[in-house]
Structures are given as structure tokens and as C-alpha cells.
Amino acid sequence: MDKPEVPEPMVLHVMPDKMRSTARNSIGLGLFLTGLCAVVYVYGEYFPLFFIIFVVIGLLLVYFGALSIGMARARPVALRLDRHGVSGYYVPTLDWTDILRFDRKEARSRSLGIELFDRAEVRNRQNRLMWQFNLRLPLSGNWHIIVPGEVLDADLGDIVATAQAFQAAAISRDQRG
């Protein structure tokens, strides 16, 4: 039986330009919503529910924009693929034996999808509350984790091919003993 060729590890950082443009749009929309609420509060009729909802949405958008600017400055590892598994900012640490499918979310999608064998087991292993929450979210197409391809500094076809080669090598290793 031929041993599958194992590629070199792939480390992909977040593309700062993509993160900055998303951050600017988020902060701009958040400030607009918060300002609109302030104008309505000062000059218009005051609807407490309207005010609370839009202020909260505006402040959340500003917060997520600030996080995106922080990501653009720090340029964290968005995705790391190696012989042991997958990890990074968008993915918790996963072994290849945890992953059922790693592919584009859809045929022409700019996002990568990861389907897990046992999502509950992976969720229970996580010590960060955010990952425990994220792995509870229902996503379409049986995907459990979505990685935005727009912020990755590589071709999605190359990423998928590398991931599938690593996964095939891991399966081969497990079958040999």
C-alpha cells in the first residue's frame, strides 16, 4: 500500500487589509446607528425599546470593529494545517481524527467548512466558553465550523488540497497502527 505524500505544514495569517476594511465598515455603521438613536432620543419621540435595541446593536458593531482592527494589527494565525491537525484563530485545536470533512462550504464559496465526527465531544473538550458556544450554533450544510476565506492569505483550493492530504496521511497512519 502506498504511503500518501505528506505536504509541508501550512500557516496562514489574517490579511490585515481585509480586516481593516471590515472594521471600518462595522465601526461606521455602529456609530451611525448610535448617532441616529441619539438624534431620535433628543429631538423625536422617545421609544425606549427602539433606543435600547439600536444602541446595543450600534455598540456591538463598534466593539466588533475594534476587535477586527486589533486582529489586523496583531495579524494572528488564522489557520494552521500540519500532520497533527488544524488550529488557529477561527478553529479550535482539532486532530485529523476529529474531522469528517474539510472543504469549501459550497462549490464556489469563499469560505471553508469543517464537519466534525462528534461535535458534542469536541465542544466538551474546549476550555474557552466562546468555542463551547460556537460549536452549539446550527450551520447550514452540516458544517460545524466556518472559516472565512476572504481573510486568508492563500488560494482556497490549495488549502483544501493540503488539508485533505494531511487527513489522508493521518488515516493511513491510523490504519497501519
Q: Are residues 52 and 108 in the same domain?
A: no
Residues 17-33: pLDDT tens digits? Answer: 878 888 899 999 999 98
Residue 6 lies in a domain: no
Q: Are residues 62 and 99 in the same domain?
A: no
Whether the predicted pLDDT of 48 surpasses 70: yes
DSSP 108: T
pLDDT at residue 32, as a whole number: 92
Overall number of domains in the chain: 2
Residue 4 lies in a domain: no
Q: Which helix (H) or strand (E) holds 127?
A: none
pLDDT at residue 17, as a whole number: 82
C-alpha cell at 167: 487527513
Whether the predicted pLDDT of 6 surpasses 80: no
Residue 1 lies in a domain: no
Cα distance between residue 165 and residue 117, in whole Å: 18
Cα distance between residue 171 and residue 159, in whole Å: 18
Q: In the chain, what percentage of residues exceed pLDDT 70?
A: 92
Q: Are residues 41 and 53 in the same domain?
A: yes
Select from 48, 74, 100 the last residue of a domain. 74
pLDDT at residue 28, as a whole number: 93
Residues 51-93: pLDDT tens digits? Answer: 788 888 999 999 989 988 887 888 788 888 988 889 888 888 8
C-alpha cell at 51: 433606543
In angstroms, the Cα distances linking 36 to 23, 33, 53, 114, 118 are 20, 5, 12, 39, 45
Residue 31 lies in a domain: yes
For the chain, state the CA radius of gyration: 20
Full strand arrangement of the beta sheet holding 94-95: 10-13, 77-81, 85-87, 94-95
Please list, in sequence order, all residues whose beta carbon lies within 8 angstroms of the beta carbon of residue 95, skipping any fewer than 6 positions away.
84, 85, 170
Q: What domain range is 117 assigned to?
A: 77-176
Q: Are residues 42 and 103 in the same domain?
A: no
Residue 29 lies in a domain: yes
Per-chain mean pLDDT for the chain: 82
Q: Are residues 60 and 87 in the same domain?
A: no
Q: What is the pTM of this model?
A: 0.71
Assign 154 a pLDDT band (cuts: 50, 70, 90): confident
